[in-house]
Amino acid sequence: MAFELPKLNYAFNALEPHIDAKTMEIHHGKHHQAYVTNLNNAIAGSDTEKMSIEDICKNISKYPAAVRNNGGGHYNHSLFWEIMAPNAGGTPSGEVAKAIDSDLGGFEKFKTDFAAAGATRFGSGWAWLCVKADGKLCVCSTPNQDNPLMDIADCKGTPILGMDVWEHAYYLNYQNRRPDYMNAFFNVINWNKVNELYLKAKK
């Protein structure tokens, strides 16, 4: 069973004005599609085809760079589309809100630390909110298409929120202004979904 590009739960223009329709169309239809296609090509005919993308990531040190880059790309973007939504943003609620208060020093401190994780990631990569093995939240970043599920990652955990800071995520609308894009991203975070992923990761 080959991996497939997941459908978006909203229209390309649904996240405007924060994320523009053209960026969404190219990001989903071209960039993510390329990760899926290249991942499928890299594992064609091997037992890896039967594995989940999560299990591939967890054992990524056993695979060549094409699987790391494209498998990471597929996992990361699949999460990314889900943790964004129209008419979202604002402040978190539910159990994840309590955990942000107790583990990360509150929402304002989380926002500062998460934005700093994205801003200080040189070149391409991702900023993450994760649930660590001990059940506590942490904020970190990874290079390229790596993620905290990967056995080679410096920060390990289950991602529940990821922000793509590759230029392809913002260049058409924000050019080189990554901080403006990151501010806009906070307006589209689907905190209900993040809370759902938090509860699942804690089980």
Contact set with Mn ion (CB under 5 A): 164, 166
Six token digits for residue 198: 């938090």
Task: Map residue 194 onto helix, strand or coil.
Answer: helix
- Find the shortest distance in angstroms from Cβ 119 to Mn ion: 17
Kind and range of the H or E run holding 158? strand 158-164
Residue 20: burial class (beta carbons within 10 Å; 0-12, 13-18, 19+): middle
Which residue's CB is nearer to Mn ion, number 82 or number 164? 164
Cβ pair 166, 76 in contact under 8 A: no
- Find the shortest distance in angstroms from Cβ 36 to Mn ion: 12
The beta-strand segments (E) located in 10-118 are: none
Which residue's CB is nearer to Mn ion, number 137 or number 181? 181
Q: Which residues contact 159 (CB under 8 A, 6 or more apart)?
A: 79, 128, 129, 130, 147, 148, 149, 197
Q: How many CB atoms lie within 10 A of CB 11?
A: 12
Residue nearest to Mn ion (CB): 164
Which residue's CB is nearer to Mn ion, number 145 or number 195? 145
- Find the shortest distance in angstroms from Cβ 182 to Mn ion: 14
- Find the shortest distance in angstroms from Cβ 97 to Mn ion: 27
Which residue's CB is nearer to Mn ion, number 166 or number 181? 166
- Find the shortest distance in angstroms from Cβ 186 to Mn ion: 18
Kind and range of the H or E run holding 139? strand 137-143
Which residue's CB is nearer to Mn ion, number 108 or number 180? 180
